[in-house]
Chains A and B, each alone.
Chain A
Amino acid sequence: MAETALQRPIEVKDVRKRRIFLLDMIVRLFKEKPMGAVGFVIIVLLALTAIFADLQWLGFAPPEEGGPGLAPYGWNQLFLLDRLSPPSAQFLLGTDNLGRDMLSRIVYGSRISITVALGAQAISVVVKLLIAVPSGYFGGKYDIVLQRFVDAWICFPALALYLTVMAVLGAGMWQVIAVLGISGGISQTRVIRSAVIRIREEVYFEAARAIGVPGWRIITRHVIPNIMAVVIISVATGMGMVILAESTLSFLGLGIPPPYPSWGGMLSSSGRRFMTLAPWMMVWPGVALSLVVFAFNMLADALRDLIDPRLRGGLGKYSLSLEKLREIAKKKSDELKTELEKAEQAQEGDNLRV
Chain B
Amino acid sequence: MRAYLIRRILLIIPTLFLVTVIVFMLVRFIPGDVLDLMLAEWMTEGSSDIQDIEDLRAALGLDVSLPVQYGRWLGIVPSQTGEFSGMLQGNLGHSLWDNEPVSDIFRARLPVSIELGILSMLIGWTIALPIGVLMATRQDSLADYSGRTFAIVMLSIPGFWLMTMVIVYPSIWWGAMPNIIYVPITENLWENLKQFLLPACLTGVASSALMIRLTRTMMLEVLRQDYIRTAWSKGLSERTVLTRHAVKNAFIPVITVIGAQIPVVLAGQIIGRAFLDALNQRDYPIISAINTMIATAVLIMNVVVDIAYAWMDPRIRYS
Contact = CB atoms under 8 A, between A and B. Distances in A.
Interface residues of B, number: 48
Interface of A, secondary structure class, is helix
Interface of B, secondary structure class, is helix
B164 A165 contact: no
B165 A163 contact: no
Given A35-B149, A155-B295, A163-B276, A276 B172 contact: yes
B158 A289 contact: yes
Interface range on chain A: under 10, 10 to 19, 20 to 34, or 35 or more? 35 or more
A254 B30 CA distance: 12
A167 B139 CA distance: 46
Interface stretch (B200-208, B263-271, B310-318): B263-271
A160 B279 CA distance: 10
Interface stretch (A93-101, A125-133, A144-152): A144-152
Given A157-B294, A163-B276, A279-B169, A248 B268 contact: no
Nearest to B28: A168
Contact of A149 (B16, B18, B31, B148): B18
Contacts of B220: 313
A298 interface: yes
A160 B14 contact: no
A109 interface: no
A283 B223 CA distance: 42
Contact of A151 (B15, B29, B268, B290): B15
A75 B168 CA distance: 28
A291 B158 CA distance: 10
A282 B164 contact: yes
B292 to A, nearest CB: 10
B19 A152 contact: yes
A117 interface: no
B31 A157 contact: no
Interface in B264-294: 264, 267-268, 271, 275-276, 279, 287, 290-291, 294
The 4 closest A-B pairs by CB, nearest first: A294-B156, A152-B18, A293-B156, A286-B161
27 contacts: A148-B11, A151-B299, A152-B19, A155-B298, A155-B299, A156-B19, A156-B294, A157-B271, A157-B294, A157-B298, A163-B275, A164-B279, A240-B156, A248-B158, A267-B164, A275-B164, A275-B168, A282-B161, A283-B165, A286-B162, A291-B156, A293-B156, A296-B156, A297-B155, A298-B152, A313-B139, A313-B220
Interface of A: 35, 148-149, 151-153, 155-157, 159-160, 163-165, 167-168, 170, 240, 244, 247-248, 251-252, 254, 264, 267, 272, 275-276, 279, 282-283, 286, 289-291, 293-294, 296-298, 301, 313-314
